[in-house]
Amino acid sequence: MTRQVVFSPSGRRGAFPEGTTVLDAARALGVDLDSVCGGRGICGRCQVVMGSRPGVEARPDRLSEPGPTETDYQGRRPLGAGHRLGCAARIVEDVVIDVPADSQVHRQVVRKRAGVAALPVDPVVRLHYVEVPEPDLASPTGDLERLLAALEQEWGLSRLVVDPPVLTDLQTTLRSGNWAVTVAVRHARDLIGIWPGFRDVALGVAFDVGSTTIAGHLCDLLTGSVLATSGVMNPQIGFGEDLMSRVSYVMMNDDGATRLTDVVRGALDDLLGELITEAGVDRGDVLELSVVGNPIMHHLLLGLDPRELGTAPFALVTTSALDTPAIDLGLQVHRGARVYSLPCIAGHVGADAAGVVLSEGPHRGERLQLLVDVGTNAELVLGNQDRLLAASSPTGPAFEGAQISSGQRAAPGAIERVRVDRATLEPRFSVIGQELWSDEPGFDFGAVTGVCGSGIIEAIAELHLAGVIDTDGVIRQPANPSSRVVASDRTFSYVLCAEPLVEVTQNDVRAVQLAKAALHAGARLLMDHYGVDQVDEIRLAGAFGSHIDPKYAMVLGMIPDCDLDRVSAAGNAAGVGAMMALLSGVARSEIEEVTNQIEKVETAVEPRFQEHFVAALAIPHKTNPYPLLSKVVDMPPRPEPGERRRRHPR
C-alpha cells in the first residue's frame, strides 16, 4: 500500500510504499534533508518533526514507533523534543514532515549582530560515512576501488579525484575503522580526507588580512556557528607602514617579496593556533579556509609578485577566485585543506572589497548603496541590483594618523573623540583605553600619546562647526581670541591637549583635506558614472569605518551628502564576506558572478576626478551646501561668492 508524504518547507510531495523511511522518501524527492552517516542512526543530522495540513493532522502513529535506533541514540546532536530520526522513522500513514533549518544541508544561520543578514550554510566540504566491503580473494579489487564504488553507490559521488595523502592512509584507516570510514569530499569532486569510523567534525577558518591587522574566525562547517574569533597585528608593518612602502620594499630588495610573504603566512598560522586553542579543537579538524585582503595583501599572501600593483596600470596577476592548498601557504591544518581566496575586483579594489560586497549585498536590492572601505586607499563600490561600479581613491595615510603632527595609529593613548565648546572653544576628548572624558575627574592626561584618524576627523569637524576652521580649511583666531588658538609661523594651530602637547596644525588640516577630497571625489565620480546626484545609503566598512562618527565624516565632506540616518558603519564587512564564502558554495558562486559584472572606474585617468577633488577640498564642499546634513547639524554660514578671498589675511 502506498502513502502520501508532503515535506515542508519545500512543499515536495510523493507516494511511497508503507514502511519507507522518511530519509529515503526525502532523497527520492530531492528534499534538502541532511545526513552524514548515510542513515545509520549515528549522526543525528536527519531530524524531522511531524507537521500537519488540512485533513492530515499531526499524529504520532503516522510514523512507526521509535525503535532501538532512536531510543538508544546518543549522537553529538541530541534528539530534540518531538523530533524523529528521518533515517529510522518509517511512514505508515499519509503524513506531513517538517524539515527544521538545522536538518537542512542548505540553511540560513541568523547572526545576532545587527546589520548582518542570515548567512547561508552549504559548505563545499562535506563528510560522508560509508561502509566498504572487505577484500575478497574471489574478486580481487583494490581498497580504493571498493571505497569509491561504495561512495558512488551510497552517496552518488562519482569520478572522485583522490588527494595523494588519502591514498597513503587508506589501508590502515580502512582496517582500523573495521571497514567503516568517514571521508571528506570537496565540491563533490575531491576526496581530501579519510578517518576510521564515524566522524562529524569539520571546521573552517575565515581570514581578513588587512595591512595593519589580521582577523580570523574559526567556524563549524556543519552548523555555521562561530567557535572563536581573534586578531593579530600584521607583522609586515615592520617593512613599511602603508601598502606602497611595502611594494617599494619588494622593488628594492631581491628577497623582499619572499620575506613579506613569509611573515604574513607565519602570522596567519600563529593566529590559527590561537583560534584552535581558544576553541579547544585540533588543527587537523580544519578542512577549509577562506581569505580576503586588498590586492597587495592578497598577492603577498599567495606568493604572487605585487610589483605591478605599484605603478599604473596596476595589473593584478589574476582577478579570479583561487583555491590554494593550505599546506602551500604554510598553514598547519588538515593536509587536504584548501584556502579559497575571494576574487579581486581591480588593481586597487581587492578581495576585501569583494567580501564587503558579498556581506552588504548592494546587488540584492533596489536601494542605491555606496560602500566605503577607508584605508590608505579607499575602496568604493556604488550600485544596486541594476548595476555596480567600483573605484579606489588615493586617500593616503592621513586617516590612519600618519602625516599628522601628533598622529598615531588607533591604539591606547590615542585621542579618538573630540568635542569643542562653541562658546569657549575649550575641547574635551576621550582616548582609547580610558573610560573617562578629559573634563571628568580622574582622567589621566599622562596616558595621552597622540591623536588617531577618527580623533583628527572629529577635531577638525568640531573646529569647523565652532567657527575656528573656515570652509577653506584655514585655522583662524576668532573675534574673541582663544588661548587654544596659537600662532605658529604664519599660520595658527589649535591646542587640543596642553600637556602632553597635542595640536591640530594647519598642515594637519591640509593633510586631512587632501585625503577627504580624494575620497569624496572617488565617490562623486562613481555617482557621475551611475548618473545620480544622491545615494540612498552609505555604509562605512572596516575598522576605521566603525570608529568614525558618520556625522563628522559628513561635516568634513568625506562622503557625499546623505540622510544621516542612512549613513552607518558596516563593521567588519570584509571579514563577514570571508565567513560567508567559507560556509557557502552558493555565496562563492554569487560573488564570483557579481565581481565579473562590476564596472571598474579608474580614477587616475578620469579628468573629472581632478575637478571633483578640487571642489571637495573645501569643508564640507565648495559648491554643495549639504542640505540634508544641514537639516540635522547646525552648519556654520557659508561665505558668499567673492567673500572668501577678502577673509584671507595671508
DSSP characters for 12-33? -EEEEETT-BHHHHHHHHT---
In the complex, least distance from residue 268 CB atom to ligand FES, rounded to whole angstroms? 35
Q: Does 398 interact with ligand FES (rule: CB under 6 A)?
A: no
> What distance in Å separates the CA atoms of residue 146 and residue 169, rounded to the nearest whole number?
15
In the complex, least distance from residue 33 CB atom to ligand FES, rounded to whole angstroms? 8
- Among 6, 31, 46, 485, the residue binding ligand FES under the rule CB under 6 A is 46
In the complex, least distance from residue 231 CB atom to ligand FES, rounded to whole angstroms? 37
Q: Does 99 interact with ligand FES (rule: CB under 6 A)?
A: no
AA letter at 589: S
Q: Does 37 interact with ligand FES (rule: CB under 6 A)?
A: yes
- Among 87, 333, 390, 583, the residue binding ligand FES under the rule CB under 6 A is 87
Q: Candidates 79-87, 287-295, 343-351, 507-515: pick the segment binding ligand FES (CB under 6 A).
A: 79-87
In the complex, least distance from residue 334 CB atom to ligand FES, rounded to whole angstroms? 22
Q: Candidates 37-45, 315-323, 509-517, 529-537: pick the segment binding ligand FES (CB under 6 A).
A: 37-45
80: CB partners within 8 A, 6+ apart: 47, 49, 100
Helices 351-360 and 573-583 pack at an angle, to 10 degrees, of 80
> What distance in Å separates the CA atoms of residue 638 and residue 650, rounded to the nearest whole number?
20
- Among 5, 25, 26, 42, the residue binding ligand FES under the rule CB under 6 A is 42
Q: Give yes or no for a contact between 467 and 555, defined as CB atoms under 8 angstroms apart.
A: no
What is the H or E stretch that residue 379 is in? Answer: strand 378-383
CA angle 212, 564, 572 (to 5 degrees): 25
Q: Return the C-alpha torsion angle 383, 544, 396, 455, nearest 10.
A: 130
CA angle 174, 200, 169 (to 5 degrees): 25
Residue that is written with C-alpha cell 600618519 in the block: 402
**Looking at beta carbons only, is 42 or 502 nearer to ligand FES?**
42
433: left (phi over 0), alpha (psi -120 to 50) or beta: left
All cell numbers assigned to 624:
554643495
Q: Candidates 39-47, 230-238, 275-283, 297-305: pick the segment binding ligand FES (CB under 6 A).
A: 39-47
| Bridging pattern class, strands 369-373 and 537-541 | parallel
| Residues between 600 and 629 that touch ligand FES (CB under 6 A) | none
In the complex, least distance from residue 253 CB atom to ligand FES, rounded to whole angstroms? 55
Q: Candidates 41-49, 133-141, 317-325, 341-349: pick the segment binding ligand FES (CB under 6 A).
A: 41-49
Q: Does 511 interact with ligand FES (rule: CB under 6 A)?
A: no
In the complex, least distance from residue 196 CB atom to ligand FES, rounded to whole angstroms? 18
Q: Does 35 interact with ligand FES (rule: CB under 6 A)?
A: yes
Q: Does 120 interact with ligand FES (rule: CB under 6 A)?
A: no
| Bridging pattern class, strands 83-85 and 47-51 | antiparallel
In the complex, least distance from residue 42 CB atom to ligand FES, rounded to whole angstroms? 5
Q: How many residues bind ligand FES (CB under 6 A)?
A: 13
Q: Does 211 interact with ligand FES (rule: CB under 6 A)?
A: no
In the complex, least distance from residue 141 CB atom to ligand FES, rounded to whole angstroms? 27
Q: Candidates 31-39, 217-225, 420-428, 452-460: pick the segment binding ligand FES (CB under 6 A).
A: 31-39
All cell numbers assigned to 584:
557557502
Q: Candidates 32-40, 221-229, 266-274, 510-518: pick the segment binding ligand FES (CB under 6 A).
A: 32-40
In the complex, least distance from residue 69 CB atom to ligand FES, rounded to whole angstroms? 8
Q: Give yes or no for a contact between 379 and 349, defined as CB atoms under 8 angstroms apart.
A: yes
**H-helix segments, 114-255:** 143-155, 164-176, 243-252
Q: Residue with CB nearest ligand FES? A: 87
- Among 43, 170, 247, 276, the residue binding ligand FES under the rule CB under 6 A is 43
What is each CA distance from 588 to 322, 357, 614, in whole angstroms?
A: 11, 12, 40
Q: Candidates 84-92, 235-243, 290-298, 473-481: pick the segment binding ligand FES (CB under 6 A).
A: 84-92
Q: Give yes or no for a contact between 501 and 495, defined as CB atoms under 8 angstroms apart.
A: yes
Buried b (16+ CB within 10 A) or exposed e, 415-424: bbbbbbeeee
DSSP characters for 545-594? HHHS-HHHHHHHTSS----GGGEEEEESHHHHHHHHHHHBHHHHHHHHHH
The 10 Å Cβ neighbour count of residue 628 is 17
Q: Does 127 interact with ligand FES (rule: CB under 6 A)?
A: no
Q: Does 128 interact with ligand FES (rule: CB under 6 A)?
A: no
**Looking at beta carbons only, is 72 or 145 nearer to ligand FES?**
72
Q: How many residues does the chain have?
A: 650
Q: Does 126 interact with ligand FES (rule: CB under 6 A)?
A: no
**Looking at beta carbons only, is 102 or 352 nearer to ligand FES?**
102
- Among 44, 256, 413, 453, the residue binding ligand FES under the rule CB under 6 A is 44
**Looking at beta carbons only, is 37 or 538 nearer to ligand FES?**
37
Q: Does 84 interact with ligand FES (rule: CB under 6 A)?
A: no
**Looking at beta carbons only, is 221 or 414 nearer to ligand FES?**
221
In the complex, least distance from residue 181 CB atom to ligand FES, rounded to whole angstroms? 15
Q: Does 222 interact with ligand FES (rule: CB under 6 A)?
A: no
Sites of contact with ligand FES (CB under 6 A): 23, 35, 37, 39, 41-46, 85-87
